[in-house]
Amino acid sequence: MEEKAESLINIPSIGRVEKGGLLVTAILVAVTYLLGYQELAFGIAAGGILFTANFVAIRFIVNVLVANSRPMGFGIFAVIIKMLIFIAIVVSIFMFAEINIYGFLIGVSAIVIIIVGESLRGDKDGTL
């Protein structure tokens, strides 16, 4: 049990994609807020932060599966639970908060652009 705990501690928590995603999200939020579009800036922040957290969760699940040699059924179950949680968060955000859908989509798109850019970047040693 202690070995499993140590392997979870050694998992890197934030990588280039997460840092780049948060940086681009922060820049987009600052620019749109300064231009006077506060609702759009709030939507961009929500989309960017939520999908950066989604990417961190995916990396965490993959690292746990690879490091601990979990069965495939556990991985499928973990990914389905993660997706259900994120779908519930997105639905509740749109139901209970005034989020600009266009801002949310811009925030999500910024993270996707960072992921594509990092994958096109040169040698990564097998990681993003």
Say how far apart CA 38 and CA 108 lie, in whole Å: 17
Say how far apart CA 50 and CA 10 lie, in whole Å: 24
Instruction: Render pLDDT for 56-87 as a digit per residue (tens, 0 to 9).
Output: 888 888 777 777 766 777 778 888 999 999 99
Amino acid making up residue 102? Y
Query: Encoding tokens for residue 36?
Result: 């006077």
Q: Note the pLDDT of residue 64.
A: 77
pTM of the model as a whole: 0.75
Phi, psi of 121 (to 5 degrees): -65, 165
Domain ranges within the chain, ordered by starting residue: 14-120
- Mean pLDDT value across the chain: 81
